[in-house]
Amino acid sequence: MSLYTGVTTDVARRFEEHKGGRKGSKYVKARIPLKVVHVETYDSRSEAQQREYVLKRLTKTEKETLIKGKK
């Protein structure tokens, strides 16, 4: 299983863009099937990007624990 972390203002729209089309990322398109497993909401893009920075530095095991709701 591969995990992807990103920031967007519209999760559903960005998820569809990733699955296909010109705006999709090569990383995500190469790993279909896809599903959203965790979403966090913040008041500003700056806060979201700070959280993304933290999440991207977690180990895969730590991310899987977060997804399961244990962290």
Is residue 25 within 8 A of residue 18, CB to CB? The reply is yes
**Residues 55 and 5: beta-carbon distance below 8 Å:** yes
Question: Per residue in 53-67, pLDDT tens?
Answer: 999 999 999 999 999
SS3 content of the chain, % helix, strand, coil (to 5): 45, 0, 55
Rounded to an integer, what distance in angstroms lies between the CA atom of residue 6 and that of residue 19? 14
The domain ranges of the chain are: 11-67
Q: Is the pLDDT of residue 70 over 70?
A: no
pLDDT tens-digit series, residues 16-44 = 887 776 676 777 777 776 788 999 999 99
Assess whether the previous peptide bond of 33 is cis (omega < 30° from 0): yes
